[in-house]
């Protein structure tokens, strides 16, 4: 009887038939030369799991497991064909597959938890040198030359639910405005997303935001919350405020003008200045809201984890399309590993699951378990026989 390899089990999270619909929509298989979009996806996921440093390494490693290709619905690869596919095939197909997988994972969470806490941030992907400079120099900033990955994650679960890739000179708020706000959710964001009209849109949608005021924010205090004695060394002020100006600096209308929000001043023992939190949540306690903002650091740690454990720092191809495909397939791989981890009831942290997959991706777990069990029975029988001989 055929038993699935771990790779087969991993890919159950993104069925071939489902990906084929996306592939057909974006014409991935047009002029494919026998190398389909599915073949490309399998190769790129393999590369992520096995941390392949080059196309040559990917080709050699993947092709050495040819006996398992049939059941994955794929075939041996040529590095030149994969390089050509990554350079020319529409990266939006992989972006769409990534979005569909994120929606699926998010849907499975909603049955487990109530209203979600979302974290939003971006992280630079530096890209300099031969092959990169041709397309990254024109939109570089003083901080970064390359690309910027924007992301919304679910706090506590370290799961991305929205991802975008832009040039580094695209402001975070420009991408943030495109996100569909979810009623009842809370968004923890840094001051790079400071846009009063966007805050107003979040409030109007029935969601909450927890962020920071800019230093020059013009507000009037219209009320104060009572600060419990047990937290008065941490929460210095808890105020109800309104914006002073309908047109700050004579610019566009501030739609939040006339609507109250909260300004919470939080002591930071490790810094000279306190943290000034802005929120439209008038119900939670100040200490709860301070803790929510503190959780925002979780997304920065998640970006760091991705860069350390998957391939989004060094790339197999140097044109923009190839880089984007590799970033999207890195996130697809993470989501597939999460689903595999959950489906198989793994108790260890997800990084250990990733290591297990790397070392035994083409192993059939049931057969391996059977072999171990039989060896144990054989060893016990030999031990018993030796005992009888004595």
In a domain, 176, yes or no: no
CA distance 214 to 266: 15
Going by the DSSP 8-state scheme, the letter that residue 138 receives in this structure is G
Domain count, the chain: 1
Over residues 72-89, the pLDDT tens digits come to 999 999 999 999 999 999
φ, ψ of residue 122 to 5 degrees: the values are -135, 160
φ, ψ of residue 265 to 5 degrees: the values are -100, 120
Residue in 98, 120, 252 with CA at minimum distance from that of residue 173: 120
CA dist 179 → 111, 151, 160, 161 (Å): 22, 10, 13, 11
Residues 6+ apart with CB under 8 A from 43: 58, 62, 74, 77, 82
In a domain, 350, yes or no: yes
Estimate to the nearest angstrom the gap between the alpha carbon of 366 and the chain centroid: 31
In a domain, 63, yes or no: yes
pLDDT given at position 377: 60
Residue in 218, 212, 219, 214 with CA at minimum distance from that of residue 277: 212
Residue 299 pLDDT exceeds 90: yes
pLDDT given at position 108: 79
Helix (H/G/I), strand (E/B), else coil: 2: coil
Q: For the chain, give the mean pLDDT.
A: 90
Residue 332 pLDDT exceeds 80: yes
CA distance 178 to 90: 22
Measured between its terminal Cα atoms, the distance across the chain in Å is 41
Average pLDDT over residues 356-368: 80
The pairing of strands 117-126 and 235-243 is unpaired
CB 137 within 8 A of CB 150: no
Residue in 152, 150, 155 with CA at minimum distance from that of residue 115: 155
In a domain, 356, yes or no: yes
Average pLDDT over residues 272-289: 95
In a domain, 329, yes or no: yes
What is the value of pTM for the model shown? 0.89
SS3 letters for 355-373? HHHHHHCCCCHHHHHHHHH
Place of tokens 């991305």: 160
Average pLDDT over residues 318-333: 98
Domain encompassing residue 348: 6-92+311-365
In a domain, 291, yes or no: no
pLDDT given at position 293: 96
Over residues 32-56, the pLDDT tens digits come to 788 999 999 999 999 999 999 999 9
Q: What percent of the chain has pLDDT over 90?
A: 75
Which tokens in the block code for residue 207? 């969601």
Over residues 56-76, the pLDDT tens digits come to 999 999 999 999 999 999 999
Average pLDDT over residues 353-381: 71
Other CB atoms within 10 Å distance of the CB of residue 233: 10
CB 125 within 8 A of CB 147: yes
Over residues 202-252, the pLDDT tens digits come to 999 999 999 999 888 899 999 999 999 999 899 999 999 999 988 876 678
In a domain, 172, yes or no: no
The pairing of strands 146-154 and 208-212 is unpaired
In a domain, 100, yes or no: no
CA distance 323 to 96: 16
Which tokens in the block code for residue 304? 């760091």
| Residues 167-179: b if buried by 16+ CB within 10 A, e if exposed | bbebebeebbeeb
């Amino acid at each position: 009887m055929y038993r699935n390899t771990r790779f087969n089990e991993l890919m159950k999270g993104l069925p071939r038939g489902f990906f084929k619909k996306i592939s057909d929509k974006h014409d991935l298989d047009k002029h494919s030369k026998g190398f389909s979009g599915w073949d490309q996806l399998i190769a790129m996921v393999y590369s992520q799991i096995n941390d392949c440093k080059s196309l040559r390494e990917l080709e050699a490693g993947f092709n050495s497991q040819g006996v398992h290709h049939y059941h994955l619905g794929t075939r041996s690869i040529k590095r030149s064909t994969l390089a050509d596919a990554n350079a020319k095939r529409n990266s939006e197909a992989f972006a769409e597959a990534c979005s569909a997988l994120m929606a699926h994972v998010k849907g499975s969470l909603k049955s487990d938890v109530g209203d979600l806490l979302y974290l939003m941030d971006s992280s630079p992907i530096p890209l300099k040198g031969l092959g990169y400079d041709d397309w990254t120099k024109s939109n570089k900033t003083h901080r970064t030359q390359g690309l910027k990955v924007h992301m919304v994650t679910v706090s506590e679960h370290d799961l991305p639910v929205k991802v975008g890739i832009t040039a580094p000179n695209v402001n975070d708020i420009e991408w943030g405005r495109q996100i569909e706000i979810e009623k009842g959710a809370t968004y923890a964001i840094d001051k790079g997303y400071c846009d009063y009209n966007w805050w107003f849109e979040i409030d109007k949608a029935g969601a909450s935001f927890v962020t920071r005021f800019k230093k020059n924010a013009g507000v009037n205090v219209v009320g104060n919350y009572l600060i419990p004695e047990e937290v008065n060394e941490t929460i210095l002020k808890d105020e109800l405020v309104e914006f002073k100006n309908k047109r700050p600096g004579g610019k566009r209308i501030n739609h939040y003008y006339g609507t109250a929000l909260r300004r919470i001043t939080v002591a930071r023992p490790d810094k000279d200045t306190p943290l000034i939190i802005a929120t439209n949540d008038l119900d939670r306690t100040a200490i709860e809201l301070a803790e929510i903002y503190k959780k925002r650091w979780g997304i920065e740690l998640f970006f760091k984890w991705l860069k350390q454990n998957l391939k989004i720092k060094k790339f197999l191809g140097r044109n923009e399309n190839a880089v984007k495909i590799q970033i999207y397939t890195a996130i697809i791989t993470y989501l597939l590993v999460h689903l595999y981890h959950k489906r198989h009831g793994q108790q260890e942290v997800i990084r250990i699951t990733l290591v297990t997959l790397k070392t035994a991706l083409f192993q059939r777990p049931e057969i391996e378990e059977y072999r171990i069990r039989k060896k144990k029975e054989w060893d016990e029988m030999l031990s018993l026989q030796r005992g009888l001989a004595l």
